[in-house]
Structure 1
Amino acid sequence: MSATQPVDLHSAAAEQAHEIAVARKDILRIATAGSVDDGKSTLIGRLLYDSKAVFEDQYEAVERASAGGDYVNLALLTDGLRAEREQGITIDVAYRYFATPRRTFILADTPGHVQYTRNMVTGASTADLAIVLVDARKGMLEQSRRHAFLASLLRVPHLVVAVNKMDLVDWSEQTFEAIRDEFTAFAAKLDVPDLTVVPISALHGDNVVRRSEHSPWYEGSSLLHHLEHVHVASDRNLVDVRFPVQYVIRPQSDAHHDYRGYAGTVASGVLRTGDEVQVLPSGLTTTIAGIDGPRGPIDEAFAPMAVTVRLADDLDVSRGDLICRPSNAPHVTQDLDALVSWMTDEPLRPRQRLAVKHTTRSVRAVVKDVQYRLDVNTLHRQPEAGELGLNDIGRVRLRTTQPLFVDEYARNRVTGRFILVDEATNATVGAGMLVPGS
């Protein structure tokens, strides 16, 4: 550009805004889990601090609260509840947000205690990647196995084992390899498609954001580098078109009196203008006349975009209906066979009546039977259980009053899951993952 040419500031700003928007699209959802005192809160604090996601005044407040020790207690950045700080443990699921130039991260900080299994299920149900912390001095514990099993049960595609407190075992390569080999052998029994093991010291920051000189024998990348580069786009289901209708848009203004659109979030697959689609439960077919995004018409939409779909024909479509491809429809059924995580004190028993919320559709259901309870430590089935108590996971069969449009959870994590609601209190009492029928 010559010195006499004016600089188009508006164009430059627009280009920068576009680059930021593209960067922000690449979001990685992370669930963390670990036993008590494994240093999970310290690790999250370190990620927040080293990625510049902590304000200076926040850091100074934590520095003062650390009571002048050798190291700043970064765990205080994350253990926000007073009860958590007093006990020195994490007891609630908290979501943290931070970003690097490459990626945006949503991090679910889940408790490690056995009595908070339901919180781990909540945090990991939407995660792309799970980090399980292991104390290098203690090795694999029962909790470590439980968290790995829950991550595989919830079909989290990527699992990272962070072997923490390596500084307390003098960065012993033998200690790290023993834990890595034991975890790899255990993961082989589960359905874990991608396992990575990283030696770290969250307190000192070794191998968290940058490679550490204390582990010359470790040839992998730092934890943050792995989080920035792990490939998650291929994990999304782009084959099965599933669009649950959330809301019917019919503007009342004269200018748009002919407009009728169906708003929702694409669960899976790719929707394109001109595609032939089918609407369930009616089974009627039509084509997509247009797709509107937040900033106007777009040519195609894919998960997890929120869009409004316009259809070529004036069909009777309402909230709870589902748009799919005629040749690739979900199962239409009133019988649900699922692994259920029970989340309340009152047990789940046969003949119990509950409300089921599946995508945008709500129906009533009755529990037909509890086939078995799962021991999440040994992976053994307990068919004699007969009911599920708080934090239990078991296989349950339900019968709904109206059909649902479902896929197996292993194939589609959106249409393969549901929540159970107590109709009397409107409280969420369970979460279910659909499995193949017996």
Structure 2
Amino acid sequence: MPHPYLSTNPPCVVCRRSDTSTRHQVDDELDQLVCDNCVGDLPECERCHATVLTLITVADERQLCRTCTSAWVVCVSCRGLTEPHVRTDTGDSVCSRCAAVFFDLCLTCSRYSASSRYVSGGSRACTRCAAIYDSCPACGTLLRAGRGCDPCARRNRVWNYSYKPDPIFHGDGPLYLGLELEVIVPDYQYDDCVRAATDHLGDLGYLKQDSSIHPLGFEVVTHPMSYRHAIERFPWRLLGVLEELGCETDRTVGLHVHASRDGFDSPAHIYRWLKLLYRNESAVTTLARRRSRYAPFDRAARVKARDTAKGPQHALGLARYQAINPYPRKTLELRVFASSLDVQCVQAALAFTAASIDYTRGLRVADVRAGAWEWSAFAAWVTTQPDCQPLAAEMEDLACAC
């Protein structure tokens, strides 16, 4: 609408020209006047549809005006503006996107928590509400009144894909690795395979359902382990037992390794690690023994590596199923490997994850300029590390040792 109070035409705030055309008020401010020629080019708020000079990109990536966001607050996770309706157990506000991806809903207080605990029966409790529960004397799982501990009572079972118990850390950190090994299991031996796997794993891991495994199978999931603990204490004999029972692996099933973010020195260290893998896609996929649509080297993720190294909240909008999944709150998930029941292959996947992190830990600009990001430099370094023997042997067998 034309501005009702001014009989003369001040300069348009967009083109800065004074002419006889009608002036339009925008941004709810009397001094923000725009001429007829410019008003049609101004953006529109996606919520109230008002024409304004500038819009604000909020947490869910909508473009809104200042009026619509005047009472909004900053999301504690992504730092974007959000309505103050979704609260966390710390009293902060979180946007709906971050709440869905990085937080768990506490069943007791109905607030979202970034550090929730598993409650026997399948619910979650925030750190504050966890204090009202009893704990299992054997494993520490939180117990609801009148209920037993399902992890202890149901050891010989395959849990739902969403099952996420409290982590039990094995070995010395700060770098911990979590193994996820997908296995194809024959129907006629399924119960025997489940029993064998759970008996061998003990408190080191558990089994989960995975609908991507065809025709039937389960995923062997370990609790966080140091690399040394994994090599020395994982029940490697289990792989041969499963094979004897008729289990198989192929390129349709994967081996994923989670690496704890606390095992990196800094976001810059994570960035150097991402760069090493992205720059050597061909060699990494050779070592991984597959290319998979569930673990592609995503171009968008490569471009945003510097941002996503700062934390999972900076990865919103990227694909989850890619070579390196950045979304877990406390880990980075390396998804490239084909699954295997061969001990050397599985140990090499763990060794590559740990070795590539250690290799990039001390890289400096001068090292990079001297070729440190080249696969040949990394491969030569691997041969000097006694702990990397499974990786060195696998690289030699797959002809990617140089």
Alignment TM-score > 0.5, same fold: no
Q: TM-score under structure 2 normalisation?
A: 0.25
Q: TM-score, normalised by structure 1?
A: 0.23
Q: Greater share of helix residues, 1 or 2?
A: 2
- Between structures 1 and 2, the one with greater strand share: 1
Larger Rg: 2
